[in-house]
Structure formats: structure tokens, C-alpha cells
Chains A and B, each alone.
Chain A
């Protein structure tokens, strides 16, 4: 009998065929093999860590950085793989600083570690122009910068301002910085959602802790900042026709209204009944507003794509 592996499987389209199984087996064995091997190597160094000289410890981290850097420079690879390699490189810089801190017992605060790490990888993050890496960079900078904010009533305003600076940077900077591409929709949407989430949190806090926060202009400033963020989110969601962001506005509104209802209405039958009527009306209103807008934007998008295909066919 002839030895063979049939690659043109007779499966119907709904199940995996021979080619798919082959790919699955290759990915499975490669991932599992390299994962177990890597874990084994890490455990090996972990076991012998105390016995190693500090130069060896730092040397391992530096050697890894140099090796990955050499791969990123010398080896031909796809754009995506190149970006992933640069991301690994950025991660290894953090490993290096962690070992440095452990070896020399620098007793530095954690935010110094994150800030140093972020500053060291800034150039690579900019060169990679890879938005998942930008997201990690923002997280690192935030872990370094936010602890420096003064812990008083201005904190939330500063936090919203800080988020707004990042969001504005990614909206406007791609026009002026040559290497920076326009951010993908998921990235900017999430930036806005986080920023808007902070604004909603601030408003809810003002509703529930009015006695603490009604001192002078701080509450007004917090609310003003929340209002600016909300207006910016509305502007962006309408401009980009982003249904996700548009819906998040209603989720935020629903949460704020619930806080108002809980605060203002009594917890007896009459209060609960009124609460129920108002909540039902709000939910129905929000759901219909989203459904209508969704249908409208969907229609506009399909019309635009039809017009585009007509123009393309004309060419």
C-alpha cells in the first residue's frame, strides 16, 4: 500500500479538512514544544539564580536584548513579525531593569522603575508604530506618572486631563509626525471609553459625596472637565460614526441617571415604582436611539460602499 497523506480531504466545508488538521498539529506541537522548553530554561535559571554572579545575571538580560535587537535589524521578516520582535525587545528592557533593581537593591519606588522603562523604550515604540505596543507604553507611563499626582480633590480633574492629553495626541499627532500612522478604531475607541468612564465616575462621585466635594470651585471644575470629556466623546462618536462609542454614551448616561434616582428617590414602594418607570423609560429610549442610529449609519455605509464600487467600475 502506498504511504500517503491525503491533503485534498473530502470533508464538507463545515469541518476541518486534512490541510487544516496538519496546520493545527504543527501549530500545537510547535507552541507546546517551545513553551515547555522556554519554561524549562526559565526554571533552570530560577533554580541557579542565587548562585550566579550579578554580572552573569545582568549579562543574560543584556545578551537577550542584543540578540533580539540583532534579529530585528538583520533578519528579513514581515512587517508584523518585525513589530512583534520590537515589542519583545521593549519587554526585555523591563526585565533588564528589574534584574538591575534586584541585584543592586536600588530601593527605588515602583513608579521610577516604570518611568525608566518607558523612557528607555520610547524610541523603539515610535519606530515600531505598533498600536498594541503604544497601549503598553501608555500603561507604563501612566504607572509612572499617576502616582506623582497630588492626592487631593484635584486628582480626578488631573486624571481626566492626563487621559485627554493622550487621546488628543493620538488624534492630532499622526498629521504632524511622519512615522506615526493614524490609530486604529479599537485603540482610539478604548481611549475614549476609558476617558468617558472616568468622567462618569466623577459625576457619580459628586452625586453620592456632595458634602465632601461641594467645597468651592473643585466640584465645579471636576464637573466642567467631565462635561468637556463627554462633549468630546459625543463629537468623536458622531464624526467617526462609531456605534460602540455612541452606545457607551448611553451606558454612561444610564449609570449617572441610576445614581440620581438612587440618591433622590425614597426606598419605599412609591419611590421604587417611580424609579422603575424612569429606568424603564431610560432603557427603552437608549435602546431605540442606538437601534435607530445603528440602522442609519449602516445604511449610509452601504450607500457609500455602493457608490465607491460604481466609481471603481467606471474607472
Chain B
């Protein structure tokens, strides 16, 4: 679990809002000032970007005492924004390479910075930039045709699998205890969950391979839990129930991933991620019934039947655990 006792935990949310708003204004003004004078001279943007990021890291390393955190944050936060924005402007013609560089810089800044909030932002930024690299590589960052591209779908599939793997790995928090990310497991989970759910939009609704893959993962998780807590005849019944539930999600990718996420989030008692995956599941199940090619009256019978099945499952669970 996340241990952020040394830094921003003590800063109240309203203060972060004021600093966030002020930081964005300061960064925007600085970018504007440079842009007015430099115009299209990319080298200057590169130089400013490097200087801003080095300064930001230096500022965020210098003050470790709690009372100086506000001061350090006020300087480092706008500097990071400026650094990344200038970097982006400088490399707009070589977008994929620029994004790769930004990803590396974000990870480096995370490793070198000492302010908790800055490090959280770097992690979140890195997790967002990674899929953008693929989008840019396949030339769909601004085209709006990404939904139809098989390469984008495959990339999203791979990233979601990787992110969910990282999410699941945080169960073993002792693996990370001695590393730099030991204190940021909650942030990693939040970023990976949010990005995975967002990337689900690019997975086609008939991508059965994706759905089956995550349905199997869900079933494996359910089996591990059942073996841990249930024995005897009830174990077989539990396996059958889990198989039925997971098999039903194998029909639709937008249901399969959220179920896996919900199981993992609840396992870790991470309620923020549970809310993210639950919201995705509600959207997924709504789209599933909306997409069904049948009359509204037949949909209503199907909905009532599936509702009755889940209510039966509820009474069954209640009865066997009395």
C-alpha cells in the first residue's frame, strides 16, 4: 500500500487546486512569452525545455523539509509543465520520437524528483504517453481514424494486458517495498486502471480473443480465491458458478476487462480503482444490451431472465454461507 507520509499528503485539496490553477497560468504565460520572441526556432524550444526540466528536478530535490514543500511545488510544478510543453512544440514534426523521449524524461524525472506530488504526476503522465506513442506511430494521433485500425487495436490490447499485469503485480507489495515505486503503488494502480479503461474504447466489440483472454484471467482469479476459502462439495459448486459468470463475460470485451479489474481492485481493497472498473462495467453491460440485434420486447425478457439469474445467485450465496 502507498506510504506517502513524507510529502503532499499533508497539503489540503483546496491548496492543491490553487497551486494547480496558478501553476498552469504561470506556465502558459512563460510559454507565451517565449513563443512571441522565438516563433519557429525549434532549437530554442529544445534548450528551454531541457533547462526547465533540469531546473524542475533540481528544485524538487533541494527542499525535503515539509514546510518548504509548498515553495518547491510552486516552482517545480510549472517548470515541469513548461519543460514538457516546449519539448512537445520542438518535436512536433517527429511526434513518435518526441513522445518516446517524453516518456523516458517522465520516468527519469520520477526517479530524480523528491516531491511526492510531482512524482505522482510523472507516473500518470508516463502511463498516458505510452499509448500515445503507438497512436502516433500508426499516424492516428490527430486523424480520428484510430477506431478502424487493426494495428491500434493490437497495440491497445498489448498495453491493456501489460497495464493489468502491472496492476495485478501490486498485490505483492513486498516486491516493490525496497524500490522507488514502493510508495506509489496506489498511483500506479490508478493510472493503469484509468488508461486501460480508456483504451477499451479502441477494442472492437466483436474482439472475442480479448474478451476470452480476460474472462480466463477472471476465472483464474476466482479459482485462486475459491481454493483459498472454500473446500469440499462447495468448491465444485463455486467453480461452476465462477465458470458461468466468467463465460458470460467472454461474449463482450467491454465486460470482460472491467470484471477482471473489479476482482483485482477489491482483492487489494482499492476502492478508487473499484469505482473506475465498476463504472466501465456498467457502460459495458449497457452497450452490450444496446448492441443486441433483437426486438425491445425480447431484450426486456432477456434482461429480466439475466436479472433473475443474478438474484438466484444472490440467494444461493446467502443460503450456503448462512
CB pair A47 B310 closer than 8 Å: no
Chain A residues with CB under 8 Å of B231's CB are 1-4, 6
Q: Whole-angstrom distance from the CB of B304 to the nearest CB of chain A?
A: 3
Confirm or deny: A132 has a beta carbon within 8 angstroms of a beta carbon on chain B. Answer: no
Among A37, A43, A248, A294, which residue has its beta carbon within 8 angstroms of that of B311? A37
Among B26, B269, B310, B311, which residue has its beta carbon within 8 angstroms of that of A276? B26
CB pair A47 B297 closer than 8 Å: yes
CB pair B23 A5 closer than 8 Å: no
CB pair B14 A247 closer than 8 Å: yes
CB pair B230 A22 closer than 8 Å: no
Q: Whole-angstrom distance from the CB of B152 to the nearest CB of chain A?
A: 31
CB pair A294 B22 closer than 8 Å: no
Known: A244-B14, A287-B19, A291-B70. A41 touches B25 (CB 8 A): no
Of A1, A41, A43, A246, most buried by chain B (CB within 10 Å of CB) is A43
CB pair B232 A2 closer than 8 Å: yes
CB pair B269 A16 closer than 8 Å: yes
Chain A residues with CB under 8 Å of B18's CB are 247, 250-251, 254, 283, 286-287, 290
CB pair A279 B29 closer than 8 Å: yes
Known: A41-B304, A248-B14, A283-B26. A26 touches B233 (CB 8 A): no
CB pair A24 B266 closer than 8 Å: yes
CB pair B33 A286 closer than 8 Å: no
Confirm or deny: B228 has a beta carbon within 8 angstroms of a beta carbon on chain A. Answer: yes
Q: Whole-angstrom distance from the CB of B101 to the nearest CB of chain A?
A: 27
Among B17, B268, B302, B312, which residue has its beta carbon within 8 angstroms of that of A40? B302
CB pair A279 B22 closer than 8 Å: yes
Known: A5-B234, A21-B225. A247 touches B17 (CB 8 A): yes
Interface membership of chain B positions 134-178, coded 1 if the CB is closer than 8 angstroms to chain A and 0 otherwise: 000000000000000000000000000000000000010100000
Q: State the 5 A-B residue pairs at the shortest beta-carbon distance, nearest first.
A: A283-B22, A247-B14, A37-B307, A33-B310, A40-B303
**Interface-forming stretch among A92-100, A200-208, A265-273?**
A265-273
Q: Whole-angstrom distance from the CB of B62 to the nearest CB of chain A?
A: 17
Cα A90 to Cα B307 with chains together (Å): 26
A-B contact pairs, 9 of them (CB 8 A): A5-B234, A14-B1, A34-B311, A37-B303, A39-B289, A47-B297, A287-B70, A290-B14, A290-B15
CB pair B318 A16 closer than 8 Å: no
Confirm or deny: B5 has a beta carbon within 8 angstroms of a beta carbon on chain A. Answer: no
CB pair A40 B307 closer than 8 Å: yes
CB pair A279 B25 closer than 8 Å: yes
Cα A1 to Cα B230 with chains together (Å): 11
A-B contacts besides A7-B321, A43-B296, 11 pairs, CB < 8 Å? A3-B234, A9-B229, A36-B304, A37-B307, A41-B300, A43-B303, A44-B304, A251-B18, A272-B32, A273-B33, A283-B21
Interface membership of chain B positions 278-322, coded 1 if the CB is closer than 8 angstroms to chain A and 0 otherwise: 000000000001000001110111111111111111100110110
Chain A residues with CB under 8 Å of B314's CB are 26, 29-30, 33
Tell me the count of chain B residues lying within 8 A, CB to CB, of chain A: 61
Confirm or deny: A15 has a beta carbon within 8 angstroms of a beta carbon on chain B. Answer: yes
Q: Whole-angstrom distance from the CB of A296 to the nearest CB of chain B?
A: 13
Confirm or deny: B74 has a beta carbon within 8 angstroms of a beta carbon on chain A. Answer: yes
Among B74, B229, B233, B308, which residue has its beta carbon within 8 angstroms of that of A33? B308
Q: Whole-angstrom distance from the CB of A249 to the nearest CB of chain B?
A: 10
Interface residues on A, range: 35 or more
Q: Whole-angstrom distance from the CB of B125 to the nearest CB of chain A?
A: 22
Confirm or deny: B198 has a beta carbon within 8 angstroms of a beta carbon on chain A. Answer: no
Within 8 A of B (CB), among A290-315: 290-291, 294
Confirm or deny: B36 has a beta carbon within 8 angstroms of a beta carbon on chain A. Answer: yes
Chain B residues with CB under 8 Å of A282's CB are 22
Cα A22 to Cα B305 with chains together (Å): 24
Of B22, B234, B306, most buried by chain A (CB within 10 Å of CB) is B22
B286's closest neighbor in chain A, by CB? A39
CB pair B309 A33 closer than 8 Å: yes
Confirm or deny: A32 has a beta carbon within 8 angstroms of a beta carbon on chain B. Answer: yes
Confirm or deny: A20 has a beta carbon within 8 angstroms of a beta carbon on chain B. Answer: yes
Chain A residues with CB under 8 Å of B303's CB are 36-37, 39-40, 43
Among B36, B230, B302, which residue has its beta carbon within 8 angstroms of that of A272? B36
Confirm or deny: A59 has a beta carbon within 8 angstroms of a beta carbon on chain B. Answer: no
Among B14, B229, B306, which residue has its beta carbon within 8 angstroms of that of A36? B306
Confirm or deny: A173 has a beta carbon within 8 angstroms of a beta carbon on chain B. Answer: no
Q: Whole-angstrom distance from the CB of A255 to the nearest CB of chain B?
A: 8
B309's closest neighbor in chain A, by CB? A33
Q: Whole-angstrom distance from the CB of A234 to the nearest CB of chain B?
A: 15
CB pair A33 B307 closer than 8 Å: yes
Known: A254-B21, A269-B33. A25 touches B317 (CB 8 A): yes
Confirm or deny: B37 has a beta carbon within 8 angstroms of a beta carbon on chain A. Answer: yes
Known: A29-B310, A279-B25, A287-B22. A18 touches B229 (CB 8 A): yes
CB pair B311 A29 closer than 8 Å: yes
Confirm or deny: B30 has a beta carbon within 8 angstroms of a beta carbon on chain A. Answer: yes
CB pair B267 A15 closer than 8 Å: yes
CB pair B22 A40 closer than 8 Å: no
